[in-house]
Homo-oligomer: A and B are copies of this chain.
Amino acid sequence: MEQFILKVEGMSCGHCKAAVETALMEAGAQKAVVNLEAGTVDVHFDPQKLTIDGVKEAIEEAGYDVV
């Protein structure tokens, strides 16, 4: 299992939190938790199912920028 904490721009509310977490779970993450105050997402994934590039792509497709 790999774990990264990524800085993400543009997440402003509970809907944004849900959008990013859902996008990551749908992309195959094992766990994804957004911290709105910090502007971060803590993502856990099996490297055989998902890559860090795939994580970033899922976040960007949801409409947010990975810093």
Q: Which of A13, A14, A19 has the most chain B CB atoms inside 10 A of its CB? A: A13
Closest residue on chain B to residue A16 by CB atoms: B13
Q: Mark A1-23, 1 if CB is under 8 A from B, else 0.
A: 00000000010111110010000
Which residues from B are CB-within-8-Å of A10? Answer: 13
Closest residue on chain B to residue A14 by CB atoms: B63
A19 to B16, CA, bound (A): 12
A60 to nearest B CB, angstroms? Answer: 15
Given contacts A12-B12, A13-B15, A13-B16, 8 further A-B contacts (CB under 8 A): A10-B13, A12-B13, A12-B16, A13-B13, A14-B63, A15-B15, A15-B16, A15-B19
